[in-house]
Structure 1
Amino acid sequence: MNFSSWPSLLVVDVEGNGTNPPDLVEVAVLPVRDGQPDTSTAGAWLTKPKRPVTPFAARIHGLTNQRLEGEPGWEEISDQVHTLLDGSWICAHNAHVDYKALSAHLPRWQPTGVLDTLRLAKNTYSGLPKYSLDALIEHVQPDLSAAPAQRHRATFDAYATAQLLIAMAAHYGTWDQLVAAAVPPGLPGAPEPEEEPTLW
Protein backbone atom coordinates (compact mmCIF):
# COMPACT_ATOMS: atom_id res chain seq x y z
CA MET A 1 0.00 0.00 0.00
CA ASN A 2 1.35 3.39 -1.01
CA PHE A 3 0.32 5.54 1.94
CA SER A 4 1.32 8.74 0.15
CA SER A 5 -1.70 8.19 -2.14
CA TRP A 6 -4.13 8.49 0.77
CA PRO A 7 -6.34 11.55 1.08
CA SER A 8 -6.57 13.42 4.37
CA LEU A 9 -7.67 10.76 6.89
CA LEU A 10 -8.63 11.14 10.54
CA VAL A 11 -9.28 8.28 12.92
CA VAL A 12 -12.04 9.27 15.34
CA ASP A 13 -13.50 7.86 18.52
CA VAL A 14 -16.21 9.24 20.77
CA GLU A 15 -17.41 8.33 24.24
CA GLY A 16 -20.94 9.09 25.38
CA ASN A 17 -22.87 9.61 28.59
CA GLY A 18 -24.88 6.39 28.22
CA THR A 19 -28.20 7.93 27.20
CA ASN A 20 -30.00 7.22 23.94
CA PRO A 21 -29.28 9.23 21.90
CA PRO A 22 -26.00 9.97 23.63
CA ASP A 23 -24.49 13.24 24.72
CA LEU A 24 -20.77 13.21 23.98
CA VAL A 25 -18.29 13.30 26.86
CA GLU A 26 -15.04 12.74 24.93
CA VAL A 27 -13.92 13.12 21.32
CA ALA A 28 -10.54 12.11 19.87
CA VAL A 29 -9.37 12.93 16.33
CA LEU A 30 -6.09 11.36 15.21
CA PRO A 31 -4.63 12.05 11.73
CA VAL A 32 -2.88 9.24 9.85
CA ARG A 33 -0.02 10.52 7.70
CA ASP A 34 2.48 8.47 5.69
CA GLY A 35 1.24 5.28 7.29
CA GLN A 36 1.63 6.47 10.89
CA PRO A 37 -0.66 8.02 13.50
CA ASP A 38 0.31 11.69 13.87
CA THR A 39 -0.18 12.47 17.54
CA SER A 40 1.46 15.90 17.11
CA THR A 41 -1.62 17.25 15.29
CA ALA A 42 -4.28 15.17 17.06
CA GLY A 43 -7.25 16.70 18.83
CA ALA A 44 -8.84 15.49 22.05
CA TRP A 45 -11.65 17.09 24.01
CA LEU A 46 -13.56 16.32 27.18
CA THR A 47 -16.99 17.91 27.41
CA LYS A 48 -19.62 18.13 30.11
CA PRO A 49 -22.85 16.53 28.79
CA LYS A 50 -26.24 18.19 29.12
CA ARG A 51 -27.58 15.04 30.80
CA PRO A 52 -25.70 13.15 33.53
CA VAL A 53 -23.36 10.26 32.73
CA THR A 54 -25.07 6.97 33.56
CA PRO A 55 -23.36 4.65 36.08
CA PHE A 56 -22.97 2.01 33.34
CA ALA A 57 -21.16 4.40 30.98
CA ALA A 58 -18.97 5.72 33.79
CA ARG A 59 -17.88 2.18 34.65
CA ILE A 60 -16.79 1.59 31.05
CA HIS A 61 -14.79 4.74 30.30
CA GLY A 62 -14.19 6.08 33.80
CA LEU A 63 -15.53 9.56 33.01
CA THR A 64 -17.81 10.39 35.92
CA ASN A 65 -20.03 13.42 36.37
CA GLN A 66 -17.58 14.69 38.97
CA ARG A 67 -14.65 14.35 36.55
CA LEU A 68 -16.50 16.27 33.83
CA GLU A 69 -17.97 18.97 36.06
CA GLY A 70 -15.44 21.65 35.09
CA GLU A 71 -15.17 20.75 31.40
CA PRO A 72 -16.64 22.98 28.65
CA GLY A 73 -20.07 22.31 27.21
CA TRP A 74 -20.35 20.99 23.65
CA GLU A 75 -21.25 24.40 22.23
CA GLU A 76 -17.88 25.71 23.47
CA ILE A 77 -15.79 23.12 21.58
CA SER A 78 -17.96 22.20 18.60
CA ASP A 79 -16.33 24.72 16.25
CA GLN A 80 -12.87 23.35 17.07
CA VAL A 81 -14.00 19.78 16.40
CA HIS A 82 -15.73 20.78 13.17
CA THR A 83 -12.64 22.66 11.93
CA LEU A 84 -10.34 19.67 12.49
CA LEU A 85 -12.76 17.20 10.87
CA ASP A 86 -13.75 19.38 7.93
CA GLY A 87 -12.89 18.12 4.44
CA SER A 88 -11.38 14.79 5.49
CA TRP A 89 -12.15 11.11 5.43
CA ILE A 90 -12.78 9.61 8.85
CA CYS A 91 -12.16 6.11 10.16
CA ALA A 92 -13.66 4.47 13.22
CA HIS A 93 -14.35 1.01 14.59
CA ASN A 94 -18.03 0.22 14.06
CA ALA A 95 -18.11 3.56 12.27
CA HIS A 96 -21.92 3.86 12.09
CA VAL A 97 -21.95 4.67 15.82
CA ASP A 98 -19.30 7.41 15.74
CA TYR A 99 -20.55 8.87 12.46
CA LYS A 100 -24.12 9.06 13.75
CA ALA A 101 -23.10 10.65 17.06
CA LEU A 102 -20.80 13.20 15.44
CA SER A 103 -23.36 14.04 12.75
CA ALA A 104 -26.00 14.68 15.41
CA HIS A 105 -23.65 17.03 17.25
CA LEU A 106 -22.23 18.69 14.11
CA PRO A 107 -25.23 19.20 11.79
CA ARG A 108 -23.20 21.24 9.25
CA TRP A 109 -20.44 18.59 8.97
CA GLN A 110 -20.19 15.88 6.34
CA PRO A 111 -17.03 13.79 5.94
CA THR A 112 -15.62 13.05 2.50
CA GLY A 113 -15.89 9.35 3.33
CA VAL A 114 -16.10 6.89 6.22
CA LEU A 115 -13.86 3.86 6.70
CA ASP A 116 -14.99 1.22 9.18
CA THR A 117 -12.28 -1.01 10.67
CA LEU A 118 -14.97 -3.49 11.77
CA ARG A 119 -16.10 -3.99 8.17
CA LEU A 120 -12.50 -3.96 6.98
CA ALA A 121 -11.49 -6.61 9.52
CA LYS A 122 -14.29 -8.94 8.42
CA ASN A 123 -13.03 -8.63 4.83
CA THR A 124 -9.36 -8.92 5.80
CA TYR A 125 -9.42 -11.60 8.51
CA SER A 126 -12.31 -13.87 7.60
CA GLY A 127 -13.20 -16.54 10.12
CA LEU A 128 -12.32 -14.79 13.38
CA PRO A 129 -14.74 -15.65 16.20
CA LYS A 130 -15.08 -11.95 17.16
CA TYR A 131 -14.33 -8.60 15.56
CA SER A 132 -14.48 -6.33 18.59
CA LEU A 133 -11.65 -3.85 19.11
CA ASP A 134 -10.25 -6.04 21.90
CA ALA A 135 -10.40 -9.16 19.72
CA LEU A 136 -8.61 -7.42 16.86
CA ILE A 137 -5.94 -6.00 19.17
CA GLU A 138 -5.32 -9.54 20.40
CA HIS A 139 -5.24 -10.92 16.84
CA VAL A 140 -3.10 -8.22 15.19
CA GLN A 141 -0.90 -7.36 18.18
CA PRO A 142 -0.27 -3.74 17.13
CA ASP A 143 2.29 -1.63 18.98
CA LEU A 144 0.24 0.33 21.49
CA SER A 145 3.13 1.36 23.72
CA ALA A 146 2.64 5.02 22.76
CA ALA A 147 -1.16 4.97 23.11
CA PRO A 148 -2.47 7.66 25.48
CA ALA A 149 -4.78 6.95 28.43
CA GLN A 150 -6.31 3.46 28.59
CA ARG A 151 -8.80 1.20 26.80
CA HIS A 152 -12.31 2.68 26.43
CA ARG A 153 -11.00 6.24 26.51
CA ALA A 154 -11.39 7.96 23.14
CA THR A 155 -7.69 8.80 22.75
CA PHE A 156 -6.56 5.21 23.36
CA ASP A 157 -9.25 3.68 21.17
CA ALA A 158 -8.52 6.09 18.30
CA TYR A 159 -4.81 5.23 18.50
CA ALA A 160 -5.53 1.49 18.56
CA THR A 161 -7.96 1.83 15.63
CA ALA A 162 -5.34 3.75 13.65
CA GLN A 163 -2.76 1.01 14.19
CA LEU A 164 -5.26 -1.67 13.17
CA LEU A 165 -6.16 0.30 10.04
CA ILE A 166 -2.50 0.64 9.06
CA ALA A 167 -1.88 -3.08 9.62
CA MET A 168 -4.91 -4.11 7.56
CA ALA A 169 -4.16 -1.62 4.78
CA ALA A 170 -1.03 -3.63 4.01
CA HIS A 171 -3.34 -6.36 2.63
CA TYR A 172 -4.63 -4.03 -0.11
CA GLY A 173 -2.77 -2.71 -3.13
CA THR A 174 -4.57 0.59 -3.65
CA TRP A 175 -6.69 3.14 -1.82
CA ASP A 176 -9.69 2.21 -3.97
CA GLN A 177 -9.38 -1.45 -2.95
CA LEU A 178 -9.22 -0.41 0.70
CA VAL A 179 -12.32 1.78 0.26
CA ALA A 180 -14.22 -1.09 -1.37
CA ALA A 181 -13.46 -3.30 1.63
CA ALA A 182 -13.91 -0.72 4.40
CA VAL A 183 -16.76 1.70 3.58
CA PRO A 184 -20.19 0.47 4.71
CA PRO A 185 -22.99 0.82 2.15
CA GLY A 186 -24.95 4.01 2.63
CA LEU A 187 -22.15 5.95 4.30
CA PRO A 188 -20.17 8.74 2.60
CA GLY A 189 -17.47 7.46 0.27
CA ALA A 190 -19.14 4.15 -0.53
CA PRO A 191 -18.35 3.04 -4.07
CA GLU A 192 -21.22 3.55 -6.48
CA PRO A 193 -22.75 0.22 -7.53
CA GLU A 194 -22.05 -0.61 -11.14
CA GLU A 195 -25.07 -0.10 -13.36
CA GLU A 196 -26.47 -3.13 -15.04
CA PRO A 197 -25.90 -3.00 -18.79
CA THR A 198 -29.05 -2.39 -20.78
CA LEU A 199 -29.99 -2.98 -24.38
CA TRP A 200 -30.77 0.68 -25.00
Structure 2
Amino acid sequence: MNFSSWPSVLVVDVEGNGTTPPDLVEVAALPVRDGRPDTSTAGAWLTKPRRPVTPFAARVHGLTNQRLESAPGWEEIADQVHSLLGVSWICAHNAHVDYRVLKAHLPRWQPAGVLDTLRLAKATYPGLSKYSLDALIEHVRLDLRAAPAQRHRATFDAYATAQLLIAMADHYDTWDQLVAAAVPPGLPGAPEPEEEPTLW
Protein backbone atom coordinates (compact mmCIF):
# COMPACT_ATOMS: atom_id res chain seq x y z
CA MET A 1 0.00 0.00 0.00
CA ASN A 2 1.33 3.41 -0.96
CA PHE A 3 0.42 5.51 2.07
CA SER A 4 1.28 8.74 0.26
CA SER A 5 -1.88 8.20 -1.81
CA TRP A 6 -4.09 8.42 1.30
CA PRO A 7 -6.26 11.43 2.02
CA SER A 8 -6.25 12.85 5.54
CA VAL A 9 -7.29 10.08 7.99
CA LEU A 10 -7.94 10.46 11.72
CA VAL A 11 -8.45 7.39 13.90
CA VAL A 12 -11.03 8.24 16.55
CA ASP A 13 -12.30 6.68 19.72
CA VAL A 14 -14.89 7.89 22.19
CA GLU A 15 -15.77 6.86 25.71
CA GLY A 16 -19.20 7.50 27.18
CA ASN A 17 -20.88 7.84 30.54
CA GLY A 18 -22.87 4.62 30.16
CA THR A 19 -26.30 6.16 29.58
CA THR A 20 -28.49 5.73 26.50
CA PRO A 21 -27.90 7.80 24.48
CA PRO A 22 -24.43 8.39 25.89
CA ASP A 23 -22.83 11.62 26.99
CA LEU A 24 -19.17 11.80 26.02
CA VAL A 25 -16.48 11.65 28.70
CA GLU A 26 -13.40 11.24 26.45
CA VAL A 27 -12.56 11.77 22.78
CA ALA A 28 -9.31 10.97 20.99
CA ALA A 29 -8.39 11.73 17.37
CA LEU A 30 -5.08 10.40 16.04
CA PRO A 31 -3.87 11.28 12.52
CA VAL A 32 -2.25 8.58 10.37
CA ARG A 33 0.52 10.04 8.23
CA ASP A 34 2.96 8.17 5.98
CA GLY A 35 1.83 4.85 7.38
CA ARG A 36 2.37 5.80 11.04
CA PRO A 37 0.21 7.20 13.84
CA ASP A 38 1.20 10.84 14.33
CA THR A 39 0.94 11.34 18.08
CA SER A 40 2.51 14.81 17.80
CA THR A 41 -0.66 16.26 16.24
CA ALA A 42 -3.22 14.05 17.99
CA GLY A 43 -6.07 15.48 20.03
CA ALA A 44 -7.43 14.10 23.29
CA TRP A 45 -10.09 15.62 25.50
CA LEU A 46 -11.78 14.73 28.76
CA THR A 47 -15.22 16.24 29.24
CA LYS A 48 -17.65 16.31 32.14
CA PRO A 49 -20.92 14.65 31.06
CA ARG A 50 -24.30 16.23 31.67
CA ARG A 51 -25.44 13.06 33.41
CA PRO A 52 -23.30 11.11 35.90
CA VAL A 53 -21.04 8.27 34.77
CA THR A 54 -22.64 4.92 35.56
CA PRO A 55 -20.74 2.53 37.84
CA PHE A 56 -20.39 0.02 34.98
CA ALA A 57 -18.89 2.59 32.59
CA ALA A 58 -16.50 3.80 35.29
CA ARG A 59 -15.30 0.23 35.84
CA VAL A 60 -14.62 -0.19 32.10
CA HIS A 61 -12.66 2.98 31.37
CA GLY A 62 -11.76 4.17 34.87
CA LEU A 63 -13.16 7.67 34.36
CA THR A 64 -15.18 8.35 37.49
CA ASN A 65 -17.44 11.29 38.24
CA GLN A 66 -14.81 12.52 40.71
CA ARG A 67 -12.08 12.35 38.05
CA LEU A 68 -14.22 14.34 35.60
CA GLU A 69 -15.52 16.90 38.09
CA SER A 70 -13.11 19.61 36.93
CA ALA A 71 -13.15 18.67 33.22
CA PRO A 72 -14.73 21.15 30.77
CA GLY A 73 -18.28 20.65 29.57
CA TRP A 74 -18.80 19.49 26.00
CA GLU A 75 -19.82 22.95 24.80
CA GLU A 76 -16.37 24.23 25.89
CA ILE A 77 -14.41 21.76 23.72
CA ALA A 78 -16.82 21.01 20.85
CA ASP A 79 -15.28 23.59 18.52
CA GLN A 80 -11.77 22.22 19.16
CA VAL A 81 -12.88 18.67 18.36
CA HIS A 82 -14.75 19.82 15.25
CA SER A 83 -11.75 21.84 14.08
CA LEU A 84 -9.36 18.88 14.35
CA LEU A 85 -11.74 16.42 12.68
CA GLY A 86 -12.51 18.88 9.90
CA VAL A 87 -13.58 17.09 6.73
CA SER A 88 -11.01 14.30 7.05
CA TRP A 89 -11.78 10.63 6.79
CA ILE A 90 -12.22 9.00 10.18
CA CYS A 91 -11.52 5.44 11.23
CA ALA A 92 -12.75 3.53 14.27
CA HIS A 93 -13.36 -0.03 15.41
CA ASN A 94 -17.07 -0.76 15.02
CA ALA A 95 -17.14 2.70 13.49
CA HIS A 96 -20.87 3.27 13.22
CA VAL A 97 -20.98 3.60 17.03
CA ASP A 98 -18.26 6.28 17.24
CA TYR A 99 -19.61 8.05 14.16
CA ARG A 100 -23.17 8.12 15.49
CA VAL A 101 -22.12 9.46 18.92
CA LEU A 102 -19.80 12.09 17.44
CA LYS A 103 -22.43 13.16 14.91
CA ALA A 104 -24.99 13.57 17.71
CA HIS A 105 -22.56 15.82 19.57
CA LEU A 106 -21.32 17.65 16.43
CA PRO A 107 -24.40 17.98 14.19
CA ARG A 108 -22.63 20.25 11.66
CA TRP A 109 -19.67 17.88 11.24
CA GLN A 110 -19.47 15.76 8.10
CA PRO A 111 -16.41 13.57 7.51
CA ALA A 112 -15.25 12.69 4.00
CA GLY A 113 -15.74 9.03 4.86
CA VAL A 114 -15.77 6.44 7.65
CA LEU A 115 -13.42 3.45 7.74
CA ASP A 116 -14.39 0.59 10.05
CA THR A 117 -11.55 -1.68 11.19
CA LEU A 118 -14.10 -4.27 12.35
CA ARG A 119 -15.54 -4.55 8.84
CA LEU A 120 -12.04 -4.43 7.34
CA ALA A 121 -10.79 -7.19 9.65
CA LYS A 122 -13.60 -9.52 8.61
CA ALA A 123 -12.57 -9.02 4.97
CA THR A 124 -8.85 -9.24 5.68
CA TYR A 125 -8.80 -12.11 8.19
CA PRO A 126 -11.81 -14.31 7.35
CA GLY A 127 -12.53 -17.19 9.68
CA LEU A 128 -11.44 -15.72 13.01
CA SER A 129 -13.62 -16.72 15.94
CA LYS A 130 -13.68 -13.13 17.30
CA TYR A 131 -13.17 -9.68 15.83
CA SER A 132 -13.06 -7.63 19.01
CA LEU A 133 -10.23 -5.11 19.29
CA ASP A 134 -8.56 -7.30 21.93
CA ALA A 135 -8.77 -10.39 19.71
CA LEU A 136 -7.32 -8.51 16.74
CA ILE A 137 -4.51 -6.99 18.82
CA GLU A 138 -3.54 -10.54 19.73
CA HIS A 139 -4.02 -11.96 16.22
CA VAL A 140 -1.94 -9.28 14.50
CA ARG A 141 0.56 -9.15 17.39
CA LEU A 142 0.49 -5.37 17.50
CA ASP A 143 3.31 -3.63 19.34
CA LEU A 144 1.49 -1.25 21.67
CA ARG A 145 4.33 -0.42 24.04
CA ALA A 146 4.17 3.22 22.91
CA ALA A 147 0.40 3.45 23.37
CA PRO A 148 -0.75 6.11 25.84
CA ALA A 149 -2.88 5.30 28.91
CA GLN A 150 -4.43 1.83 28.97
CA ARG A 151 -7.03 -0.32 27.20
CA HIS A 152 -10.55 1.19 27.14
CA ARG A 153 -9.21 4.72 27.34
CA ALA A 154 -9.82 6.65 24.12
CA THR A 155 -6.15 7.48 23.53
CA PHE A 156 -5.02 3.85 23.88
CA ASP A 157 -7.84 2.45 21.76
CA ALA A 158 -7.29 5.02 19.00
CA TYR A 159 -3.57 4.16 18.93
CA ALA A 160 -4.30 0.42 18.81
CA THR A 161 -6.90 0.91 16.07
CA ALA A 162 -4.45 3.03 14.06
CA GLN A 163 -1.81 0.30 14.24
CA LEU A 164 -4.43 -2.28 13.25
CA LEU A 165 -5.51 -0.18 10.25
CA ILE A 166 -1.90 0.23 9.11
CA ALA A 167 -1.23 -3.52 9.43
CA MET A 168 -4.35 -4.44 7.44
CA ALA A 169 -3.66 -1.81 4.76
CA ASP A 170 -0.68 -3.89 3.64
CA HIS A 171 -3.16 -6.47 2.33
CA TYR A 172 -4.57 -3.99 -0.21
CA ASP A 173 -2.92 -2.45 -3.24
CA THR A 174 -4.86 0.81 -3.41
CA TRP A 175 -6.85 3.23 -1.27
CA ASP A 176 -9.98 2.43 -3.30
CA GLN A 177 -9.63 -1.28 -2.52
CA LEU A 178 -9.27 -0.49 1.16
CA VAL A 179 -12.35 1.75 1.07
CA ALA A 180 -14.39 -0.95 -0.67
CA ALA A 181 -13.57 -3.39 2.14
CA ALA A 182 -13.72 -0.99 5.09
CA VAL A 183 -16.62 1.45 4.67
CA PRO A 184 -19.98 0.15 5.93
CA PRO A 185 -22.95 0.71 3.61
CA GLY A 186 -24.86 3.86 4.45
CA LEU A 187 -21.92 5.68 6.05
CA PRO A 188 -20.03 8.55 4.40
CA GLY A 189 -17.51 7.40 1.81
CA ALA A 190 -19.28 4.15 0.95
CA PRO A 191 -18.75 3.25 -2.71
CA GLU A 192 -21.79 3.86 -4.88
CA PRO A 193 -23.47 0.56 -5.85
CA GLU A 194 -23.00 -0.28 -9.47
CA GLU A 195 -26.12 0.34 -11.52
CA GLU A 196 -27.75 -2.65 -13.07
CA PRO A 197 -27.59 -2.53 -16.85
CA THR A 198 -30.94 -1.97 -18.48
CA LEU A 199 -32.31 -2.45 -21.97
CA TRP A 200 -33.45 1.17 -22.18
Task: Tell me which interval the TM-score lies in, with the shorter structure as reference length.
Answer: over 0.9
Partner residue, 1:4:
4
Alignment of 1:25-44 (within 5 A): 25-44=25-44
Partner residue, 1:97:
97
Partner residue, 1:169:
169
1:112 partnered with 2:112: yes
Amino acid of the residue matched to residue 132 of structure 1? S
Amino acid of the residue matched to residue 62 of structure 1? G
State the shift of 1:51 in Å: 0.1
TM-score, normalisation: structure 1: 1.00
Gaps of 5+ in 2: none
State the shift of 1:25 in Å: 0.1
Partner residue, 1:84:
84
Partner residue, 1:154:
154
Secondary structure at 2:199 match in 1: coil
Partner residue, 2:72:
72
Deviation track 1:70-128 (CA, whole Å, cap 9, x = no partner) reads: 00000000000000001100000000100000000000001000000000000000000
State percent identity of aligned pairs: 88
Deviation track 1:155-182 (CA, whole Å, cap 9, x = no partner) reads: 0000000000000000000000000000
Secondary structure at 2:98 match in 1: helix
Partner residue, 2:132:
132
TM-score, normalisation: structure 2: 1.00
Amino acid of the residue matched to residue 161 of structure 2? T
Distance in 2 (CA, whole Å) between partners of 1:100 and 1:5 is 27
Secondary structure at 1:100 match in 2: helix
Amino acid of the residue matched to residue 28 of structure 1? A
Distance in 1 (CA, whole Å) between partners of 2:97 and 2:143 is 25
Amino acid of the residue matched to residue 85 of structure 2? L
Partner residue, 1:188:
188
Query: RMSD of aligned C-alpha atoms?
Result: 0.3
Runs of 4+ in 1 over 4 A off after TM superposition: none
Secondary structure at 2:83 match in 1: helix
Deviation track 1:142-167 (CA, whole Å, cap 9, x = no partner) reads: 11111000000000000000000000
Distance in 1 (CA, whole Å) between partners of 2:183 and 2:146 is 27
Gaps of 5+ in 1: none
Amino acid of the residue matched to residue 97 of structure 2? V
Distance in 2 (CA, whole Å) between partners of 1:87 and 1:18 is 28
